[in-house]
Amino acid sequence: MTPFSVLDLCPIIESGDAALAFRHSADLAQHCERWGYRRFWLAEHHSMPGIASAATAVVIAHVAGATSTIRVGAGGVMLPNHSPLVVAEQFGTLEALFPGRIDLGLGRAPGSDAATARALRRDLHANEDQFPHDVVELIGYLQPDEPARKVRAVPGAGSEVPVWILGSSLFGAQLAAVLGLPYAFASHFAPAQMMDAVALYRRLFRPSAHLERPYVMLGFNVFAADSDEEAEYLATSMQQAFVNLRSGRPTKLQPPVQGYIEQLGGAEKAMLAHVLSCSAIGSPDTVARRLREFIAETGADELMIASQIHDHDARLRSYEIAAQVRAAEIGK
């Protein structure tokens, strides 16, 4: 069956802080390593009260140091916020510390609002053409060193850290295809163009030194519990997070609320229905059925499972159920 991986937003819960979030992320990675997940990715977000992974490379080092075999990486680094050379040095350092276990996913969004983007000192007037140029420059820094090269990533040169293109639109699909790179689509929160983007990527893909054939990883939410009712209750923490974010008032990850959906207006319900269209919420049987349907519909080469659950033990259980579902499918 399709490999499963983990997208961890390093959630800061309402009753906790960043230190607790980091401990929980390391613990989750250790469990997921034992349960057979392929990779564990962390995402760059800034000025978000409920997400602790702003210094993404640092958190990757923390998680990789707590594990031994699972691949750890960025899902992703928002390249417009950074110099390609600095990113190459950071991930070259990670690769030197944890050989053969580091991934680098690159996105072109700032991962923040306009005011935060200004505080990050990025060029707000750069056009879309700059992102492909920066990706190519960054990949060059990670390639084997050449005597004529004036600027070198040290560490970084020769590390050949695998680079992925992340996206939620057709732009990233085209870039990944032209460069012959693996492609990860953010269908766990922006599913609208998923099928079109995947089809475009597969159609335009050019084999490269990095990848012989197209490889698609899709984001997918899983809220799994021992009953449908419990899973639906646990999912309300993520639902609150989306409603609060889209309302311009992001918060820490809130405890679940009974009957939360019923309290919302029509526009908010419609927004959540769209966001959650790439999700499985329910008991093991419900989750298994939904996962089979999604994989059959998309032909995904890999799923990146997101599970924003307030209670850490319940979050572990959700990932455990997803792993058990996959193991059962393999055994059939």
**Dihedral sign computed on CA atoms, order 89, 95, 97, 101:** positive
**Model confidence at 218: pLDDT above 70:** yes
Q: Are strands 39-42 and 279-282 parallel, antiparallel or unpaired?
A: unpaired
| Six token digits for residue 143 | 């390639």
201-211 confidence digits (pLDDT tens): 999 999 999 99
DSSP H or E stretch at residue 5: strand 4-8
Please tell me what DSSP assigns to residue 213. S
The pLDDT of residue 258 is 96
Phi-psi region of 236 (alpha: psi -120 to 50; beta: other; left: phi over 0): alpha
| Alpha carbons 235 and 259: distance in angstroms, whole number | 11
256-314 confidence digits (pLDDT tens): 999 999 999 999 999 999 999 999 999 999 999 999 999 999 999 999 999 999 999 99
**Model confidence at 62: pLDDT above 90:** yes
| Alpha carbons 282 and 291: distance in angstroms, whole number | 11
10-52 confidence digits (pLDDT tens): 999 999 999 999 999 999 999 999 999 999 999 999 999 999 9
| Alpha carbons 19 and 317: distance in angstroms, whole number | 22
| Alpha carbons 26 and 215: distance in angstroms, whole number | 27
**Concatenated DSSP letters of 166-178:** EESSHHHHHHHHH
| Alpha carbons 37 and 302: distance in angstroms, whole number | 11
The pLDDT of residue 111 is 57
- List of domains in the chain: 4-330 (3.20.20.30)
The answer to whether the peptide bond before residue 155 is cis (omega within 30 degrees of 0) is yes
Q: Name the residue type at position 173.
A: A
Q: In this structure, how many other beta carbons lie within 10 angstroms of the beta carbon of residue 126? A: 13
pTM metric for this prediction:
0.95
| Alpha carbons 272 and 325: distance in angstroms, whole number | 25
136-190 confidence digits (pLDDT tens): 999 999 999 888 888 999 999 999 999 999 999 999 999 999 999 999 999 999 9
Main-chain dihedrals φ then ψ at residue 123, nearest 5 degrees:
-80, 105
| Alpha carbons 280 and 288: distance in angstroms, whole number | 8
**Concatenated DSSP letters of 217-274:** EEEEEEEE-SSHHHHHHHTHHHHHHHHHHHTT---SBPPP-TTTGGGS-HHHHHHHHH
**Model confidence at 132: pLDDT above 90:** yes
The pLDDT of residue 277 is 95
